[in-house]
Amino acid sequence: MDTNWMAHGLCAHEDPAIFFPSDGVGVIKAQRICRQCPKQEHCLEYAVTNKIDHGVWGGESERARRRLIRKRNVIAAKAASKAARKAAKIGTEVSVDLAVEAPADAATDHESLTSVD
């Protein structure tokens, strides 16, 4: 993953300790800086993708990022389930359509090909 954006973030000009606070007040201070940063989205995505456990990244605390990851996992699971149901439904419809569109003498043709004299 490209990390060139890091040099252009506002955090590059701040004391790194600000982004690794020990209390809620420190988190708020870091979030204020992040909200002004042009690289906030890149930063958050980097932290989520790499499962970074500590610090404020992209304006989100560790707890908020864990919630975001869980939410994304739920959405992905629902999408996969929906896709599987749709695929199964299409497969059923295709079978029904083929049976309806098959010529009336198709069974006879099949039987003549498989019968043993």
Residue pLDDT, tens place only, 37-67: 999 999 999 999 999 999 999 999 999 999 9
Both structure tokens of 78? 């629902």
The total of other beta-carbon atoms located within 10 Å of residue 34's CB is 21
Whole-model pTM?
Answer: 0.67
Q: Where are the domains of the chain?
A: 4-101
Please give the span between the terminal C-alpha atoms of the chain, in angstroms, as a whole number. Answer: 68
Q: Strands (DSSP E) along the chain, which ranges? A: none
Q: How open is the CA angle 47-52-58, to the nearest 5 degrees? A: 35
